[in-house]
Chain A
Amino acid sequence: AQSVTQLGSHVSVSEGALVLLRCNYSSSVPPYLFWYVQYPNQGLQLLLKYTSAATLVKGINGFEAEFKKSETSFHLTKPSAHMSDAAEYFCAVSETGGSYIPTFGRGTSLIVHP
């Protein structure tokens, strides 16, 4: 069984500040991990994914995430927030060797204020 917990339904940062969105997962087998971004009235867009290669994964728009097996975490970071980063962010896990059907977290709304 697999599950995802995203801590904090809302995260508020100032423009230019560090962004940290937290994600913890559980999986009975080595996981694939994903971060998606959703802008209002749009579908989800993949930011980055971990598939058992490098533990530090770089994605689009300056985001990156680090897979920490010991902490079962896959937190998303960005050094400097832009106003355009305001959106809903979803962490997801799927199990290797399975059907690749992802389980999504409940999402974290990132608010960026001037």
Chain B
Amino acid sequence: GAGVSQSPRYKVAKRGQDVALRCDPISGHVSLFWYQQALGQGPEFLTYFQNEAQLDKSGLPSDRFFAERPEGSVSTLKIQRTQQEDSAVYLCASSFSAGDEQFFGPGTRLTVL
């Protein structure tokens, strides 16, 4: 299993619930990206880590969204008080370094009812 993995693959949440989405990047990859992909759209950048440092979080849509990568490997994207507009596929990607090819995980499909 050398690819990027994400869990859960599917998540259904009631409006107002908190959710946590996990990304396991390829071992040794320094850079990690989170994207949000709405239905029928391309991925939209959320946030970027280099090792454990969050270098860019300009794409996070609100302060309900929070991401961390405390040990520079696994990352978690947390969404507090979910809203219906948060329904989307959340993609994680990793690369050996910034500017290198990004390898994408299969995504987590979040549905907020």
Interface residues of A, Cβ cutoff 8 Å to B: 4, 9, 32, 36, 41-46, 49, 90, 92, 94, 99-107
Against A, the Cβ 8 Å flags (1 = close, 0 = not) of B23-62 are: 0000000000100000011111100100000011000000
Residues of A within 8 A of B104 (CB): 36, 43-45
State in angstroms the CA–CA spacing of A36 and B98 once bound together. 17
Residues A104 and B44 in contact in the complex (CB < 8 Å), given A43-B4, A44-B91, A46-B102: yes
Number of interface residues of B (CB under 8 A): 21
Total of A-B residue pairs, C-beta within 8 Å: 50
Do B98 and A100 touch (CB < 8 A)?
A: yes
State in angstroms the CA–CA spacing of A19 and B101 once bound together. 24
State in angstroms the CA–CA spacing of A102 and B42 once bound together. 11
Q: Nearest chain B CB to A7's CB is how many angstroms away? A: 14
Q: Which residue of B lies closest to A107 (CB)?
A: B42
State in angstroms the CA–CA spacing of A44 and B6 once bound together. 13
Q: Nearest chain B CB to A63's CB is how many angstroms away? A: 15
